[in-house]
C-alpha cells in the first residue's frame, strides 16, 4: 500500500480553492486624476448620492410627511442604485 501525500478531502479542497481563485484576475478600476480607484468605491459613491437624492425628492414632493421608515427607504434606494451601477460596470 502506498501512502499518498494528500487524502481525498484535502485534494478536493485544493481543487475547489483553485477554481474559486481563478476569478481574481484583476479588480475593475477607474482612473481619477492619475490614481486608480476600485470600481466598487465609485459604485458606493453613486449609491450614496442616490440615497441623498431620494431624500431630497421625498422632502421636495411632500412624500416625507407620509412615508414611514424614511431612512430604510433612502438606504434601499441607494443600495439599489449602487448595485445597478456595479452590475452595469462589470457587465454582469
Residue spans per domain, the chain: 39-92
Return d(Cα 50, Cα 39) in angstroms, integer: 16
Bridge partners, 36 (sequence order):
31
Residues 39, 28: contact at Cβ < 8 Å?
yes
pLDDT of residue 21: 67
pLDDT of residue 69: 92
pLDDT per residue, tens digit, the chain (92 aa), is 445 566 778 888 888 877 776 665 666 777 777 778 788 888 999 999 999 999 999 999 999 899 889 999 999 999 999 999 989 988 76
Residue 70 grid coordinates: 424614511
Return d(Cα 81, Cα 21) in angstroms, integer: 28
Name the DSSP class of 6: S
Amino acid at each position: 500500500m502506498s501512502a499518498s501525500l494528500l487524502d481525498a478531502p484535502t485534494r478536493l479542497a485544493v481543487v475547489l480553492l483553485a477554481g474559486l481563485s481563478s476569478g481574481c484576475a484583476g479588480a475593475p478600476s477607474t482612473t481619477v486624476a492619475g490614481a486608480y480607484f476600485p470600481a466598487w468605491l465609485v459604485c458606493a459613491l453613486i449609491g450614496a448620492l442616490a440615497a441623498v437624492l431620494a431624500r431630497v425628492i421625498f422632502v421636495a414632493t411632500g412624500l416625507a410627511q407620509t412615508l414611514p421608515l424614511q431612512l430604510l427607504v433612502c438606504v434601499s434606494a441607494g443600495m439599489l442604485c449602487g448595485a445597478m451601477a456595479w452590475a452595469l460596470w462589470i457587465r454582469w
